[in-house]
Amino acid sequence: MPMIDADGCLLNVSVEGRDGGPTLMLSNSLGSTMQMWEPQMKALTQLFRVIRYDRRGHGKSSVPPGPYSMERFGRDVLAILDDLNIAKTHWCGLSMGGMVGQWLGANAPDRFGKIILANTACHYPDPTNWHTRIKAVKEGGIAAVADAVIANWLTADFREREPRVTANMKAMMLATPVEGYIACCEALSTLDNRELLPKIKSPTLVIAGRHDMSTPVAAGEFIRSQIPGASMTILDAAHISNVEQPHAFTDAVVGFLTQR
pLDDT digits (tens, 9 = 90+) for 182-241: 999 999 999 999 999 999 999 999 999 999 999 999 999 999 999 999 999 999 999 999
Distance of alpha carbon 131 from alpha carbon 96, whole angstroms: 17
Compute the half-sphere exposure of residue 56: CA atoms within 13 Å on the CB side of its CA: 29
Structural element, H or E, at residue 143 = helix 143-153
Q: What is the pLDDT of residue 127?
A: 95
**Which sign does the torsion angle of CA 131, 106, 51, 75 carry?**
negative
| Contact present, 37 and 29 (Cβ < 8 Å) | no
Distance of alpha carbon 96 from alpha carbon 211, whole angstroms: 18
- Maximum distance among all alpha carbons in the chain? 51
Least confident of 16-25, 45-54, 88-97, 138-147: 16-25
Name the residue among 118, 96, 98, 124 with its Cα closest to residue 183.
96
Inform me whether the pLDDT recorded for 19 exceeds 90.
no
CA distances from 36 to 19, 125, 149, 168 (A): 23, 28, 15, 10
At 52-66, the pLDDT tens digits run 999 999 999 999 999
Per-chain mean pLDDT for the chain: 97
Inform me whether the pLDDT recorded for 260 exceeds 90.
no
Q: What is the pLDDT of residue 198?
A: 98
Main-chain phi, psi angles of 60, to 5 degrees: -95, 5
Inform me whether the pLDDT recorded for 1 exceeds 90.
no
Q: What is the pLDDT of residue 167?
A: 98
| Contact present, 152 and 119 (Cβ < 8 Å) | no
- Determine how many CB atoms are found less than 10 A away from the CB of residue 96: 27
Q: What is the mean pLDDT of residues 35-64?
A: 98
**Which sign does the torsion angle of CA 252, 241, 124, 130 carry?**
negative
Q: What is the mean pLDDT of residues 65-69?
A: 94
Q: pTM of the entire structure?
A: 0.97
CA distances from 111 to 86, 87, 102, 221, 231 (A): 9, 6, 13, 25, 21
Q: What is the pLDDT of residue 76?
A: 98
Q: What is the pLDDT of residue 2?
A: 83
